[in-house]
Each structure stands twice: as structure tokens, then as C-alpha cells.
Structure 1
């Protein structure tokens, strides 16, 4: 006879809320993010080996390797609508587990690959998992955490992305493509085993009228036997949200949804158009053209390592500072760093000015970019996207946002390659500089302040602002 969940856990749980269960679940779910980042940045150390290393079973050209950056977001683009359906039908938890299955397939294909097309298929599975990474994980983290935990620890998912970029550059610099694949194969296996024991989102369970399961989930997440008060608040919020129409058309028609959609798209575009995906894929390539004293692989390790350290440090201060002003400051700081890079490469490629004594500038400029990006652009969009949409419309909203997001990821690395190959490295850096200028203005005028607010309070804030806007228009 199956023992009720309440009986199994009631004697262990306390009578007050605890943070550590929520933090533990965030860490476990972020293991999937780490593997996704490793696969996305995999071309950085792997392309040089596949092009120049005769010991590898597959030798490819630079043109063939350039599609490693294009294929994953294409797979993500096609998978996003399916992922949106899955997160609302089978649940957040099972959809996230599906992500790790895609990771396992991707690593197996890399390990056994003996031709270029197998690598391409592997990149497709990597892209499918990214649709879950950016569409489901932020929603799941937002729904399982209390507001103060979400503000401090909700960025851990983003930190693991930068850990993944760092690890692939370190491991890939010293081991072959096949050995690297075998090493990272362990991570999705571990993720599946651990995440199997994680609770489902109480929001999802309430939306699907699984009230008892939602209560048990909340008890585990708070490690508290008495969660009735919070459960009642969440139930009321969910009832209000599911009473609203939740079609794709409602994303545009309903003012609150429209505003949240506009902000979400702007945040994602700000993040990607700053050049991040291009820098992740072509890290070693950029430093190989900078005439720096350090090897390109060493510069890439320093770059990604600093990225990880800065994002880890900054994430714990997000809940103590204004999120809106962090976005503004971060975007403005990135404009300065990108302008420095653009000017350096312009003088190197287009003038006779000797900058031998200043070949430290590219690494310094990219380090400044990392610091500024980590303060806001690198960590806040994921956090804000978990907060802006109601539970009833979240799946469809993230699907639309991700389609635009992945289109940008397709465009940016290819744009970087085309501009740098045909006009010089300074041109893409200048384009990214212009984009971050626009991001600064967008953050100032449109990004809301969500610090310390519950998901329901954020929804009420967006609704209130829309009502004020309508009232002002009526008066005018």
C-alpha cells in the first residue's frame, strides 16, 4: 500500500520556513544549465583541434566549423513551440529532465562521430535542450522560490552557464574532443539522477487542480509542515491568473501581457546583441588576432574564469541593489568596453600606429566587458523573465520570447564572422557598442523594479501601471 506523502514527511519537517531546500533544488536544476553552456561554447576549444589537429578522426574547414554556432539556435527555434506545450502539459519537472536526455545524446554523438554531419546532428540536440534552458528553467525557479530566495539565489542558474563556458575552455585546451565529450557526459547523467527527486512547481500543480500535490511540493520546498497561509496566497493568485484568457492572441491584446512581453523581448535582445554568443563561440579566435603575449587558449581561460567569478560575486548583491539601475549601469559599462575593443582593432588593422606596448588592451577590454556584463546584463534578464508573466500565459510567452531570442543567437555569431572577415574585427565590436547604447536607454525607460516583490505583486504592479497609462490617455 502506498504511503501518503504527508505521512512520509510530516515527522521530518519543522514548523518554520527554510531556504536550503529551495537553494538545493536550484543547484540541482542548474547542473542542466552548466551542460547546456558547455555544449554551446564547445566550438571555442574544439574548432582549432578539428581544423589543425591531425590526430582527430574528423578534419574540417573553418567554413564548415562556422555552422557549429548557427545550428543550435536553429534547433532551439524549432523546438520552442513544442517545449512551451510540454511545460504546460507534462509539467516543468519532466520537461527539464527531457533537456538532459538531449544532452546525453549530444555528447554520445560527439564521442562516436566519424564525420562532419554527426557533429551537426549533435549541435541540433544541443539546441533543443537550449529551448528548455531558456524557456522552462527560469519559470520553474521563479515558481518554487520565495521572493527573497529568488532575488539572491535565482541567479545561480546563470552562474552555472558561465561555469560551463569556463570548464569547456579549460578541459578542451588540454584534452581531445572525444575525451572532453566523455568527461562532460557525466554531468547530464548526474542531473537526471538528482533532479528526479526534486518537487514539481506548486504553481503548475495548482493550475492542473492537483491541490494536494501542490501542498506537498510546497512543504518540501519550504521544509515546513505549516504552509497553508502561503498556499492560500498562491492558490488565489493562480485562480486569478487561470481565470484570464491565455491564448497567443492574449499576449498582445491584454495590456499586462503585452507590456511583459515587450520588456522580456527587450531584455533578451539587450543580452544577446551585446555580442555575448559571438564571444562565447569565437573566444580563442578573437584573442589569436590581438597580438597578445599570452596564448589564445590562456586568454580564453582567463576570460571565462573571470566571467564565472564576477557573475558568482555579483549574483549575491542583486537583491540588495536596484535591479533597474544595475541594468542601466551594466549596459553603459559594456558600451565603454566594446568601444575600447573597437578602437584597438581599428588602429591595428587600419592605421600604421604601432601598439606593441599596448597588446594587453584586448584582454583588459574584454575583462572590463565581463565585469560590466556580470553586474546586470549577464544575470538579470533570466531572473526578470521568471517574474513578469502569470502562470497561465507563461508557457506561450516564453515560447514567443525564445523564438526571437534564438533568432538573435543565430544572427550574432554569423554577423560577427562576416563583419570581421570582410571588414575587420573592429566593425562587429562597433556594432555591439551601438546595440548596448540602445540597451542602456531601454533599461532606463522600460525595465521595472521587481526587487523584493512576490510574483503576484509584480503582476499587480504591471496592471497598475497599465491602468495609470490608460487613465492618462483618457484625460488627454
Structure 2
């Protein structure tokens, strides 16, 4: 038996190094995403070194989302034109410049520009990084390595929540600069993915890349499979229309649109951005809101970490369904509590329920629906349509965030706080049913095998046997 099958990290250390060094940007992105929460109170205070109105401060979030939206065409161009690796390095460099600008900013326009650039680089990174990981990773560890992106992002969120409210303004930018400098120092020494190199006709470089990521293994069979897969995929059209015309592509974009937008219809943006408001409305503030936010982020991190180790063992569909069911239960608990409170019932004896439900929500959300989509997004699209498909998926993520926040505000103001939580709970159940009936299991499958699954075509016997042997080996080693 090949000893790379005897453990998740045996024979995959170079893959782990490339995945970690190539996704350090996510720490910076997590920090930039959560930066406004502790910084806006400072900026609009009398202690601020930058004159800021509340209206100007609110635009800091809008600039980030605008950059992410308008960066889509650039992302599609870069990941195919210069490659996954160079796109990541370019995004890291621009983010580094943005943190430097934030550190030395003396007026709001500089912060607006920096936030806009952060949005562009986040879009590029969160498309390029999953592609890079999926195309270089062994199928037995692909799920875990794809999850590293979210783990790093949550680390950044915890950092900025912990540092922002308590230390000087410049500390957060300095941390971002150090993290990105580390990526720019290590990741350039990692090779481009074998899939991309072979797709560009650089077979010899692709072979060297595969050898780097599969040290000590006979790579000839896998190289042949990659060449065949890329050749077949290049023979198929790869424009925007074919994303919806071809059956496999259409199924892939439908799955990712529902999961990416669905994350927000399970209330993650609403809870992240309104956590203190929700707990205050519940009358269950036993701890400072800044501390509650840190605990919330820490719980998400550890839940995501545990899930990342299990996603290649129990599969994507199983993790998604368990997560969605428990998420629905937590959201239902919040909805019922607020419904009873608004109806005039005395809920003081259960005032602990909202904060407990919110913390359980943090764990259940990151168990599956908060981490599996980024694993699937780089697995489902073929090479010829991957950049467009993943960029559209990222767009659906942004749209889902905007829609969920608008729904929350409208339903809360019109009917009461319990109504949006009922809606989000129902959304979780609907997505769970969709997962059960429609989303294929990609655990243990090569990227080529996944394409046959999406087309509802039989997997060629050679690939099937390879997958069967691989899965049998892993099953044996779990005892």
C-alpha cells in the first residue's frame, strides 16, 4: 500500500506548505472584513486622528463591497492570463500597499481607496486560491487544504476583534503588513499548479510541478490523467454562455449559486454585523459586546478547524446537511424567543437563550455551510470555465449578503425581529433538502471524475477503479 494513504499528512507536506503560504492573504482579508467593527467607533469619536462623520464611516463597508463587485472582470482575466500563483502574489502585494496606506492615512479618501482595493484583492484571492489548492492537492487532502482559506480568514477576524478595540489605530495595519510580507517571502518559491501549466501547453513544467507536490511517488499515471482531462476540457467551449448551456456547467453554477447566496440566507452576515443589536434586543447581554464578538469568532474558528479535518472523511454532503439542520434549529430558537417577547410573554427566565443560540449557531454554521462551499467551488467547474464560474459564484456570495441584510432590515422594521429569523430558518431547511436531492458527493473523486458526475455520465472504468482503491484504502485506515 502506498504510504501516502496511511495518513492525511503523510506524503502531502509540500502541498500543505503551498496551501498555507499561498493563503496567508486570507488572514489579511479577515482583518479587513472585520476592521470596521472596532474602528468605526474610534473614527467617529473625538479621539480620532482623522476627522470622520458617521455618514462617511458607513461608506467604508460600501467601498469594500464595491471593490469586490467591480473586481470581478479583472479576476476572470488574471487567473487565466497570468495564472493562479501570480494572481495570488499580485493580490497580496496590492493588499500590502493598502495596509500601508491605512497605517499612514490622515484623511477619509485614502481609507476609501484602500478599502476599495481590499475588495478587489479579496475577490481575486478567493477565486485564485481555491483554484490553486484544488489543482495541486491530492484528493485525499483536498477538502482540508481548501478549508485552510477559511481558517486563515477567521484567524484574521479574531485578530482584528481582539486588537482593534484595545490597541492604537496603527497596530492592525502593522499586523496585516507582516502577514502579507510573509506570504510574499515564501509563496514565490512554490510552483504553479500542474493543471494550469499543462493547460498552457507547458507539459514539462507541469510534470515538475506535480513531482514537487507528490514527492517520492510515481506520477506518470496521474500526469497522464491530468493531460487527458485538460485535453478533453480544452476541446469543449469555455465562454460565458457555455456556463449555462452545457449540462455539467449549468449544474455546477446552480449548486454554487445556491450555496454561496444561501450562506447569507442562513443569516451569517446579519448576525456578524448585528450581533450586539440582536443580543441587546433580547435583553441577554451578560458580557460586553466586544467580548461576545471575540467569543463568537473563536467558536467559528475551532468549529471550522474541526470540520476541515472531517470533510475528507465524512464527505461534503453529510457535513452540509448536519450543519444546515442545526443552524435551522438555532435560528428557530431565536425566532421563537423574539416572537414570544413581542407577543407580550415574560421571557426573562429564558433570557440566556439568545446568546446560547447565537454561540451554537457559530459552531453549527462553520461545521458545514460556512466551509464546504469553498471546497466545492474549485472542484465543480472544469478548467476551461473555472475562472468564469468561480467569479460568478463569488458574485452570488456578494449578492446574497446584500439581499439578506436588506431583508433583515425590512422585515425587522415592518413586522418585528422574529420574522427574518423564521425566514432564515426555513431557508436553511430548504438548502438542506436541495443538498440531499441535488448535490453530488465529491469526496475521494478526482476533478475529472467530478465532471462525469455532474453530467450524469458513467465514470470511465480506469478512473473508477483508481477511486475505488483509494476509498477502500482510506476506509481500512479509519479503523
Which residue of structure 2 aligns with residue 13 of structure 1? Answer: none
**Corresponding residue of 2:353:** 361
Aligned counterpart in structure 1 of residue 368 of structure 2, from 370, 376, 387: 376
Q: CA deviation at 1:399?
A: 2.0
Residue 93 of structure 1: how far off its partner (Å): 0.5
Give the structure 2 partner of residue 321 of structure 1.
314
Matched, 1:214 2:218: no
Give the whole-Å Cα distance in 2 for the aligned partners of 1:268 and 1:164: 21
Report the secondary structure of 1:392's partner residue: coil
Aligned equivalents of 1:116 and 1:414: distance in 2? 26
Which piece of structure 1 moves more, 413-422 or 156-165?
413-422
Between the aligned partners of 1:309 and 1:128, the Cα distance in structure 2 is: 28
Gaps of 5+ in 1: 1-16, 468-476
Rounded to whole Å, the distance in 2 between the matches of 1:430 and 1:66 is: 28
Q: Does 1:431 align with 2:430?
A: no
How do 1:42-61 and structure 2 match up within 5 A?
42-51=35-44, 53-58=45-50, 60-61=52-53
How many angstroms does 1:194 deviate by? 1.4
Query: Does residue 1:33 correspond to 2:21, yes or no?
Result: no
Q: Does 1:115 align with 2:100?
A: no
Q: CA RMSD in A?
A: 2.3
Q: Are residue 334 (structure 1) and residue 327 (structure 2) matched?
A: yes
Q: State the Cα distance separating 1:212 from its structure 2 match.
A: 1.1
Q: CA deviation at 1:248?
A: 1.0
2:12 paired residue among 13, 19, 34: 19
Alignment check: 8 A CA contact 1:111 1:178 kept: yes
1:97 alignment partner in structure 2: 89
CA shift, 1:56, in A, is 1.3
Q: Residues of 2 paired with 1:157 and 1:203: CA distance?
A: 20
- Give 1:464 shift: 2.7
- 388, 391, 397: which is aligned to 1:405? 397
TM-score for the superposition, normalised by structure 2: 0.88
1:447 aligns with 2:439: yes
User: Contact 1:331–1:373 at 8 Å: present in 2 too?
Assistant: yes
User: Partners in 1 of 2:408 and 2:41 — Cα distance?
Assistant: 18
Which position in structure 2 is the counterpart of 1:11? Answer: none
- 2:411 & 2:55 partners in 1: Cα distance? 14
Distance 1:347 1:367, change over 3 A: same
Which runs of structure 2 are paired with 1:52-451 in the superposition (5 Å)? 53-58=45-50, 60-224=52-216, 226-291=218-283, 292-348=285-341, 350-417=342-409, 419-420=411-412, 424-451=416-443
Whether the aligned pair in 1 keeps the contact of 2:261 and 2:398 (CA below 8 Å) is no
Deviation at 1:465, TM superposition (A): 4.9
Give TM-score, length-normalised by structure 1: 0.88
Aligned mates of 2:59, 2:411 — CA distance in 1: 16
- Contact conserved, 2:79 with 2:87, CA < 8 A, in 1? yes
**Deviations, residues 44-98 of structure 1 (Å, cap 9, x unaligned):** 22222223x3211235455443333333222111111211111111000010112
With over 3 angstroms needed to count, the CA separation of the structure-2 counterparts of 1:436 and 1:117, relative to structure 1, is farther
CA contact (8 A) 1:283 1:300 kept: yes
Distance 2:323 2:208 in 1: 40
Is the contact made by 1:40 and 1:281 (CA closer than 8 Å) also made in structure 2?
A: no
Aligned CA distance change for structure 1 residues 103 and 412 (closer, same or farther; 3 Å): farther
Structure 2 residues without counterparts, runs of 5 or longer = 1-9, 460-479
Distance 2:279 2:36 in 1: 15
Q: Partner of 1:65: helix, strand, or coil?
A: helix
Contact 2:194/2:209 (8 A) holds in 1: yes
Greater mean alpha carbon deviation, residues 39-48 or residues 413-422: 413-422
Q: C-alpha distance in 2, partners of 1:237/1:49?
A: 53
Q: Secondary structure at the match of 1:58?
A: coil
Q: Kindly tell me the number of residue pairs found equivalent between the two proteins.
A: 449
